[in-house]
Structure 1
Amino acid sequence: MVTDKDGYVHLIQYLTENLGLFETPEGTGLADETVMELFEEQLSAQIIMVCGQNPALNFAQRNMIIREIDAIVYDLEEILANVGGKKATPEQTLFITEFSGLIKNLFDQEIAKLLHA
């Protein structure tokens, strides 16, 4: 649905190009949550919003979306393996929020195609 699209590949490239943002010295994070916890929290919120905005999605379609999010989180865990457990900085939190919004945009586009096919 999303993970096999060019837009997703571009977002992953965008993330890898900005990995330097996540390579902060130990103990510099100010957030209560780790980088991965923030990613999971933000992506969950975005997908809840997507599903809420698209009540026409059936059970199978919603499950497909959940599987896609699981795949995205797995990719993020792989990419951020060395830094995912560190406390997030304000800059990282901002990046994670924006990145999660971009993921939601990908889902919005694909769901629009799915529901209007």
Structure 2
Amino acid sequence: MITYSEYFDDYVKDLNKYIHKIKASIKQIIVETNSLPKGSHQIFDDIPKHQADLKKYKQLLSKMSSDYYSDEVTDETRQEQNRVKRMLLSIYHNKVLFKCLLILIIILLAIANIGVIIYKIK
């Protein structure tokens, strides 16, 4: 059985990595906004990486669910499992929210690119 300190270590490591990815994505969006209409397709390359992170969190949550129903678990361990599970669920929902925001920004950048192209044609 995996200890919850290992879950928490993985959670902190993944959280730091994901925050770094968000910062890098924001910098990339700023750079691409300043250089419209060039290079806006590069954001689409980052989406599969974020989807892989989401799958990893889903697997971690399913492991925690299976551990929850084992007979060896005490009441304190169940409380700790619930706390960690709530934290991971909130991180998962935040990742989904950030993914949706990233897709929205990509769509807005694409619309802006089309507008700039139409403006240059006219």
TM range (shorter): 0.3 to 0.5
TM-score by length of 1: 0.39
Which structure's residues are more often helix, by fraction? Answer: 2
| Bigger Rg, which one | 2
TM-score by length of 2: 0.38
